[in-house]
């Protein structure tokens, strides 16, 4: 049987990977010791050239289906891991067939939820994980994606200005539909509630989560948080013509949540006295897109909002409100952001994503200023954070030395 590789970016180094060996028997010569979430399949991490990949063994038809579905999600701009390739035609030394392999790109600074707990995540931060999962689920549902197996285990989390951003990592049971019905959305919600409850109980049983944590209440909050966000993003709102300002108010509320309104349905009644509005197309990333347009920085949305706030403070402090905003942003980058990020020692750069480091320094500045009774300079704050806090944080960036 001939080995076949279908890839988005073919790499000759793929041929040097030991595809004739079952994945569970791969040695440290090829496998990177990275944290893995729970999975029904055998999963390993490898490095090919400059990139790191997750490799999952599965049935050939399922591998190709998930590969194509992940490509569709990427084209739609939805938060998921990026597919790289499918390897089929694998046989071992005895000529026995081996499962197909699906390769996805490793997401920088992302971690499974269990690793977050091993890094010291406390019970008061669990709702932030749930919120990230809910935002992901709402975004997928808005795109008519049925997940089918919603759980913390099928998600990777990235830090996002003190919170988290969630990325779909397992789309095996997913399906993009022309229209997603309410019963299907409710089914995903039921699955999410049951799976998260079971995962929290498992964490408690292993000692990773406080046994007194309200696991049931946390899991049940998924429905409430989902319903509130879904309503804000999709509900019809009616008002009189004299209250047209409410259109802008609705858009501002969505912007505050991090969403842009790409399409708004506005209908008046027969007499033109009443107006009905309903967002038809909304997309997360309002602050992220604004920051990227101004500075070229590509960060998570809550991080972008924090950086934009600092940019606004910089603008006010230097009385630059009448200047072109792009020029002010370029000056802020050169004066504040880039010098601050450069203060991270090379051996500590795997601790935090640069934008998250900036956020952490801003939080640290508040504590130092409160203790000192006056405002502490941001560079003095960064030096104190690098000296006393950053070294104690766990590494969260893949920094392997292994090459295939």
Q: Classify residue 101 as exposed, middle or buried by CB count within 10 Å of its CB (0-12, 13-18, 19+).
A: buried
Q: Which two tokens stand for residue 51?
A: 């990139």
Percent of the chain with pLDDT over 70: 96
What pLDDT sits at residue 35?
A: 63
In whole angstroms, give the CA distance from residue 235 to residue 232: 6
What pLDDT, on a 0 to 100 scale, did the predictor assign at position 336?
97
- What is the token pair recorded at 36? 């893995």
Which three-class secondary structure state does DSSP give residue 84? strand
Rounded CA-CA distance 98/173 in Å is 22
Task: Spell out the domains of the chain, with CATH numbers in brackets.
Answer: 4-105 (3.30.200), 110-234 (1.10.510.10), 237-284 (no CATH), 288-392 (no CATH)
pLDDT for residue 403: 47
**Which residues fall within 8 angstroms of residue 241, CB to CB, at 6 or more apart?**
268, 272, 273, 274, 275
Distance between CA atoms of residues 354 and 315, nearest Å: 22
Alpha helices in 235-324 (DSSP H): 245-256, 286-295, 301-317
Mean pLDDT of the chain: 91
Helices (H) and strands (E) in the chain, counts: 12, 14
DSSP code at position 91: B
pLDDT at 404 over 80: no
- Alpha-carbon distance of 48 to 173, in angstroms, equals 28
Give the pLDDT confidence of 357-372 residue by residue, as tens digits. Answer: 999 999 999 999 999 9
Predicted pLDDT of residue 240: 86
Provide mean pLDDT across the span 93-101. Answer: 92
pLDDT digits (tens, 9 = 90+) for 13-71: 888 889 999 998 988 777 887 666 566 778 888 888 778 899 999 999 999 999 999 99
Q: Is the pLDDT of residue 106 over 50?
A: yes
What is the mean predicted confidence (pLDDT) over 303-320? 94
Q: How sure is the predictor about 401, in pLDDT bands with cuts at 50, 70 and 90?
A: very low
Q: Give residue 398's pLDDT.
A: 62
pLDDT of residue 50: 79
Reported as a pLDDT band with limits 50, 70 and 90, residue 128 is: very high
- Give the model confidence (pLDDT) of 141-198 as tens digits: 999 999 999 999 999 999 999 899 999 999 999 999 999 999 999 999 999 999 999 9
């Amino acid at each position: 049987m001939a080995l076949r590789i279908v890839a988005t970016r073919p790499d000759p180094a793929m041929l040097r990977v030991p595809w004739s060996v079952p994945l569970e028997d791969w040695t440290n010569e090829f496998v990177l010791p990275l944290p893995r979430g729970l999975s029904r399949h055998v999963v390993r991490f490898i490095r090919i050239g400059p990139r790191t990949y997750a490799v999952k063994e599965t049935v050939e038809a399922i591998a190709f289906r998930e590969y194509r579905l992940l490509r569709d999600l990427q084209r739609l701009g939805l938060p998921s891991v990026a597919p790289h390739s499918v390897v089929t035609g694998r046989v071992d030394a005895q000529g026995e067939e081996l499962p197909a392999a699906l390769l996805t790109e490793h997401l920088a600074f992302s971690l499974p939820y269990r690793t977050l707990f091993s890094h010291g995540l406390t019970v008061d931060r669990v709702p932030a994980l749930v919120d990230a999962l809910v935002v992901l689920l709402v975004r997928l549902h808005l795109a008519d994606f049925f997940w089918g197996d919603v759980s913390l285990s099928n998600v990777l989390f990235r830090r996002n200005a003190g919170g988290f951003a969630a990325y779909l990592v397992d789309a095996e049971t997913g399906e993009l539909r022309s229209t997603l019905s309410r019963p299907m959305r409710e089914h995903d919600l039921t699955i999410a509630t049951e799976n998260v409850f079971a995962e929290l109980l498992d964490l408690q049983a292993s000692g990773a989560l406080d046994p007194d944590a309200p696991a049931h209440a946390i899991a049940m909050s998924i429905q409430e948080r989902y319903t509130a966000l879904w309503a804000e993003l999709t509900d019809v709102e009616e008002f009189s013509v004299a209250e047209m300002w409410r259109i802008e108010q609705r858009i501002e509320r969505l912007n505050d949540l991090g969403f842009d309104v790409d399409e708004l349905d506005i209908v008046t009644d027969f007499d033109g006295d009443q107006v009905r509005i309903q967002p038809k197309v909304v997309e997360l990333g309002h602050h992220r897109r604004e920051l990227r347009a101004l500075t070229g920085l590509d960060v998570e949305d809550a991080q972008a909002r924090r950086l934009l706030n600092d940019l606004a403070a910089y603008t006010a402090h230097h009385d630059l409100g009448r200047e072109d905003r792009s020029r002010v942003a370029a000056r802020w980058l050169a004066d504040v952001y880039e010098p601050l990020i450069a203060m991270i020692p090379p051996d500590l750069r795997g601790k935090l994503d640069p934008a998250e480091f900036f956020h952490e320094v801003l939080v640290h500045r508040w504590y130092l200023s409160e203790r000192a009774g006056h405002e502490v300079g941001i560079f003095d704050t960064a030096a104190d954070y690098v000296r006393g806090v950053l070294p104690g944080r766990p590494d969260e960036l893949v920094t392997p030395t292994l090459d295939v």
